Amino acid sequence: MSSKQPIPVRVLPFELVERTVVNLLRIAVTSLPRDVMEALEESLEKETSPVAKIQLETILENIRLAEDSGAPMCQDTGIPLFFLRGHYEDGIEEAIRNGVEIATKEIPLRPNAVHPLTRENPGTNIGKEIPHLVWNPSMEEMIEITVMPKGAGSENMSRLAMLKPSDGIPGIKKFVLDSVVEAGGKPCPPTIVGLGIGGSSDIAPQLAKKALMRPLDVENPDPMLAELEHELKEALNATGIGPMGLGGRTTVLGVKIESAHCHTASLPLAVCLQCWAGRRACARIYPDGMVSYSREGFD
């Protein structure tokens, strides 16, 4: 064999990836992961005000209708964000783009992707860098595709702070509290709060997104961060913002943190809010063409 022989990098049929992407988007926009459903049902039990109860009852009824009818639970079917793990596959970017375009017509999804300045809408959810792909290379014999359709109501409330190291944990708590209070009813509470602590000005927001993918009932393995997640959840629910900002006991369904080491002179903090429609879905495609799906994730 010549040393110039290219490494074979396409194992999976293009159409299989395409179809998996359509299925993933359909699962994500028409149903919610078990942990989010349980957290919403728990919140309804805790609310006492009639206005707050109506909001949560409407949310739960709406999810049931979406599941039964196959229509997206929210008209904002988000901007398509993809997280991939596994071997690099030649052409997978194109297969995913095609999948998104097919899903936009078939499900249907709302065409949300526009040019940032002209605001021109191609009507396909396809554009420069959209759908967005984040790769996590691994040697496993599969490709894992996770999709998070991220709505703008909550995404627009994202915040980044380059805190001073001396601000420390109290500075982190204060910024998170201020961000959630300032957001009020705009991000469709009860929200899930994703925090990225450390890294740099680009790493922290990526960590915050990653945090949103951890199931609500899975605690941070680091006891110090788990404690901070718990403490912030209690504090944010004591604000009284409530479902849809109309007052009540449930402002957040959970707080999730991911962290990274950072420069000795920095303390980056990113806050990414996820609306109650904490939509995510995950698929694993194996070399033999078998595909398995999970809303909650496999690990």
Partner 1 sequence: MNLELPLDAEKVRALHCGDTVTLSGTIFTGRDEMHIRALEFLDEGRQLPVDLRGGALFHCGPIIVRDHEEWKLVAAGPTTSARMNTLEPRFIEAFRPAVIIGKGGMSLPTVEAMRENGSVYLALTGGAAVLAARGIRKVIGVEWLDLGMPEALWILEADDFGPLTVAIDAHGNSIYENVAMVVKENLPGIMRSLGIE
Given the rule CB under 8 A, which residues bind partner 1?
51, 54-55, 58-59, 61-62, 65-66, 69, 71-77, 108-112, 114, 119-121, 123, 151-153, 156, 170, 173-174, 177, 181, 184-186, 188, 231-232, 234-235, 238-247, 275-277
Q: Cα(249)–Cα(168) distance, rounded to whole angstroms?
A: 28
Q: Provide the residue type at 158 as one letter.
A: S
**Residue 1 and residue 23: Cα distance in Å, rounded?**
40
Q: In the structure encoding, which two tokens stand for residue 14, read together?
A: 């293009």
Nearer to partner 1, 41 or 231 (CB): 231
State in angstroms the smallest separation of the CB of 212 from partner 1: 16
In this structure, are residues 7 and 127 in contact, taking their beta carbons and an 8 Å threshold? no
Residue 284 backbone class (left: φ over 0; alpha: ψ -120 to 50; beta: rest)? beta
Compute φ and ψ for 44, nearest 5 degrees.
Answer: -60, -40
How far apart are alpha carbons 88 and 12 in whole angstroms?
A: 11
CA distance linking residue 27 with residue 293, whole number of Å:
9
Q: Cα–Cα–Cα angle for 168, 174, 180, nearest 5°?
A: 140
Choice between 80 and 243, CB closer to partner 1 = 243
Closest contact distance (angstroms) between CB of 208 and partner 1 is: 20
**What is the smallest separation between the CB atom of 118 and partner 1, expressed in angstroms?**
11
- Of 239 and 266, nearer to partner 1 (C-beta) is 239
Sign for the CA dihedral angle at 232, 237, 243, 245 comes to negative
- Closer Cβ to partner 1, 11 or 177, answer by number: 177
* Least Å from the CB of residue 140 to partner 1: 35
User: What residues form DSSP beta bridges with 258?
Assistant: 196
Helix, strand or coil, per DSSP, at residue 160: strand
State in angstroms the smallest separation of the CB of 286 from partner 1: 33
Closer residue to partner 1 (CB): 62 or 136: 62
33-64 as b/e, with b when 16 or more CB fall inside 10 Å?
bebbbebbeebbeebeeeebbebbeebbeebe
Nearest distance in Å: CB 109, partner 1: 7
Taking the complex as a whole, the smallest distance from the CB of residue 223 to partner 1 amounts, in Å, to 18
Comparison of 73 and 130: residue with beta carbon closer to partner 1: 73
> Least distance to partner 1 from the beta carbon of 141, Å?
38
What is the spatial distance between Cα 133 and Cα 144, in angstroms, rounded to a whole number?
A: 12
Among residues 185 and 297, whose Cβ is nearest to partner 1?
185
- Cα atoms found within 13 Å of the Cα of residue 170, Cβ hemisphere only: 2
Toward partner 1, which CB reaches closer, 171 or 297?
171
